Amino acid sequence: MKQFLLIFLGGGIGSFLRYLISKTLNSHYPNFYLGTFLVNILGCFIIGLLIGLSLRNNYLSQNQMLLLATGFCGGFTTFSTFALESHILLKEHSILYMSVYLGLSIFIGILAIALGLYLCKLL
């Protein structure tokens, strides 16, 4: 139960910060989603630091990783997890799988948004 609460707490904080940063910066730069872009890049950097610290002599505990990597970074941006998984595939020399994962995630993600919008027009 403690682990679920850590993820919940981290996710809530991450989501709140993502909203605050995106809302503030996106409204100043309406032709480029600067806030979303910065949140995604910052989330990737943070999850890289966390994974690096975790791998380095177990610097972070499992609970700290759940709070920060799974919770905070997951709430802050799922792009960080997407980028990490892509990096893992690249590191494992799975170029084909990484390319398919990247391509399908982006392409089908955009199609899923279009389908959702289309279905709402039918209602």
Binding residue per annotation — 74?
yes
**Residue 99 CB neighbour total at 10 angstroms:** 13
C-alpha distance across the termini of the chain, in Å: 40
CB 28 within 8 A of CB 11: no
> If you compute the radius of gyration of the chain from its CA atoms, what whole number of angstroms results?
17
Binding residue per annotation — 77?
yes
- List residues forming the annotated binding site: 74, 77
- List residues forming the annotated binding site for Na(+): 74, 77
